[in-house]
Structure 1
Amino acid sequence: MEAKSLWHTDERQSEILSETFRLAPYCLEVVSAYSAISLGTEKLVATGKVPTEMHQIMRVPYQSGNFAFPVKYGYSIVGKTKENEWLHAMHPHQDCFSISAADAYFFSETVNPMVATQLSNLETVINALWMSKVTAEDSVLVCGLGSIGILLAQTLKEYVGAKVCVLETNPTKKAALQNWGFESCNGQKEYTICFNVSAHADGLQYCIEHTVAEGKIMELSWYGNQAVSLKLGAHFHYKRLQIISVQVAEIPMAYREEQTYRSRKQLAEKLMLEIDYTKFITRIIPFAELPSFFEEIRKDKPNNDFITIVKY
């Protein structure tokens, strides 16, 4: 097979390159339809900000190259087999590929394949729900409304039934959130649980200053090799707050006896069948335009979108 894939050739440039590969026995041949962009992580990868000590740990399935460049990266893709079956896989941005059958997750035809690109992000959301032990009785803040933030906010509202406020500084996003019925925080309220998905120290600091005594702050952001500066001399110690890391790859220890990677994926699919996330896909990029997209990202242009996906 001949395939085209996105490569970050160095911290300043991305290209679509061709490669030829042979199908291994018992592997699936997949034609890509859509893939997801997890903006925070992929920006760190594209700009060379993955810490050296994390290069091996942060490798994703079917990645080629390494984080010191060049690297072929991406980790959530949806496509069809020759038998016309839809599947989700962990794989870099590529127009066709071959994977082991064990690495494929076949999802229901009733799931929108564009939304199915968010299966991995919803697994992060599920980890956040599990680790926070959030209930309908909680008052909740979601700080930073990118792809995971918006999925989390909607899931907290519709699946958990919690009272959700959102904090977003981008004016375009703030207007959209209001139109979608989300309540913006007013700076006066304190929350029992705050979820920081802003990838910024200011967001985490805001959560520290607006969480009730002995409340929880769930940190979903990944900062790469960027230092984070916080003021911990007041609210943090005085209120005995907890800052808890939420990480996607592993099942939280408290759930490992009852949950597996497959059952978590099945729960993510169930959420997709019960909750309409489609409207949050606000940008669809043709695969051929991906290098230009990453050029925008490297220039730190304002991002007005919630969920961005790639169309092949």
Structure 2
Amino acid sequence: MTKLDSPSAHHATATAYWTVGPEKGELLREDLPAPGPGEALVRTLFSGISKGTELVVHHARVPECVAAEMAAPNQEGSFPSPVKFGYLSVGVVEDGPAEWRGKTVFCLYPHQDRYVVAVEKLTVVPDDVPARRAVLTGTAETAINGIWEAGPRLGDRVAVIGAGLVGGMVAKLLASFPLGRLQLVDVDPAKRSFAKALGVDFSRPDDALPDCDIVIHCSASEAGLERALQLAGDDGDVIEMSWYADRKVTVPLGEDFHARRLSIRASQVGVVARARRHRRTNADRLQLAVSLLSDPAFDAFLTGSSTFAELPDVVQQLSDGVLDALCHVIEYPGTESAPTEATR
């Protein structure tokens, strides 16, 4: 890879975002190989920033003991840096097998304007899902995995703690279930309008209803996990979807957890949830995820956009708290010609 302003001797190049040090990202140019058998050349239209995980990488806080497990599917480099990391990318196949050319696809690929990848790693975006919205496919996949892990039943009382990107997506998908009760819980009262857009009841933590069959925790906070244990009913389940990276978290196991026989189970999207692992592949899960995004209500998750050239500054603004976002969309050159529902 080379600096963006350095010429490349190779006739085909791509530009990608790399984390090159703690709190430092750059756009770097690299050689782009021609696609081989079973591979496709994809021109990126949009990518999304998954703020929670990508800021962990930005701050060089991935624990060394799980660095291999937490690597993104098409990551290059290694933690802490230099590393090319990201996994919410939508583009158009420009070259490769004839049956793939011209298709709009989602890929778990880092922020890069053009890339070559095996077609088996691509997920076709349905005609009724706009390319911009399709960047949420990876987030929907994460939410599906958490719901499969939780296994909600008819009439269940469920609370989702943390109205961020993942928590909101879990709540949105659960809203179609025949539950007895569903609440999206967050400390920020401004999240009430977001919950309303998703068609989900909102509550502040102190007002949330107890005796839940399932509590899904997504706030990545110690206080949120403590409240999850309080809201779970006797013998209830807490599904932990937060990633704390290198932070130490204190859990009050001497209170509700032990006395009321609660269970805490982790959900992590790297592998299909145990309840479906023998009957669903990662590709099946991704195809399900993108198929669910035809509902325009999912646009509530897309809270801003910037050009690809602005990406290093955008990541730093997210890190500094200057920019607030659920999923911030990165637009690539040529997106004005992106296929729409009417043309695909």
- TM-score of the superposition, structure 2-length normalised? 0.85
Residues 35 and 14 of structure 1, relative CA distance in 2, 3 Å threshold = same
Runs of 4+ residues over 6 Å off in structure 1: none
TM-aligned CA deviation for residue 176 of structure 1: 3.4
Q: Does 1:9 align with 2:51?
A: no
TM-aligned CA deviation for residue 107 of structure 1: 2.2
Q: Give the structure 1 partner of residue 272 of structure 2.
A: 251
Which amino acid counterpart does residue 94 of structure 1 have in structure 2?
Answer: Q
2: CA distance, partners of 1:275 / 1:205: 34
Q: Give the structure 2 partner of residue 67 of structure 1.
A: 79
User: Which of these residues, 244, 257, 260, is aligned with residue 223 of structure 1?
Assistant: 244
TM-aligned CA deviation for residue 171 of structure 1: 4.0
TM-aligned CA deviation for residue 177 of structure 1: 2.7
Q: Give the structure 1 partner of residue 213 of structure 2.
A: 192
Give yes or no for contact 2:197–2:297 (8 Å, CA) kept in 1.
no
Secondary structure of the equivalent of 2:173?
A: helix
Q: Does 1:311 align with 2:326?
A: no
2: CA distance, partners of 1:258 / 1:58: 24
2: CA distance, partners of 1:126 / 1:275: 18
Q: Give the structure 2 partner of residue 58 of structure 1.
A: 70
Residues 243 and 303 of structure 1, relative CA distance in 2, 3 Å threshold = farther
TM-aligned CA deviation for residue 159 of structure 1: 4.4
Question: Unpaired runs of 5+ in structure 1?
Answer: none
Map 1:235-250 to 2 at 5 A: 235-250=256-271
Secondary structure of the equivalent of 1:117?
A: helix
Which amino acid counterpart does residue 309 of structure 1 have in structure 2?
Answer: V
TM-aligned CA deviation for residue 37 of structure 1: 1.5
Residues 13 and 144 of structure 1, relative CA distance in 2, 3 Å threshold = same
- Count how many residue pairs are aligned between Structure 1 and Structure 2: 311
2: CA distance, partners of 1:130 / 1:158: 14
- TM-score of the superposition, structure 1-length normalised? 0.93
TM-aligned CA deviation for residue 124 of structure 1: 1.4
2: CA distance, partners of 1:53 / 1:108: 38
2: CA distance, partners of 1:303 / 1:62: 27
Which amino acid counterpart does residue 47 of structure 2 have in structure 1?
Answer: S
1: CA distance, partners of 2:191 / 2:303: 10
User: Which of these residues, 131, 134, 138, is aligned with residue 156 of structure 2?
Assistant: 138
After superposition, give the CA deviation of every residue in 1:102-144 in whole Å (9 maximum; x if it has no partner): 2111221221212211212111111111111113411111111
Give yes or no for contact 1:139–1:163 (8 Å, CA) kept in 2.
yes
TM-aligned CA deviation for residue 250 of structure 1: 0.7
Give yes or no for contact 1:135–1:162 (8 Å, CA) kept in 2.
no
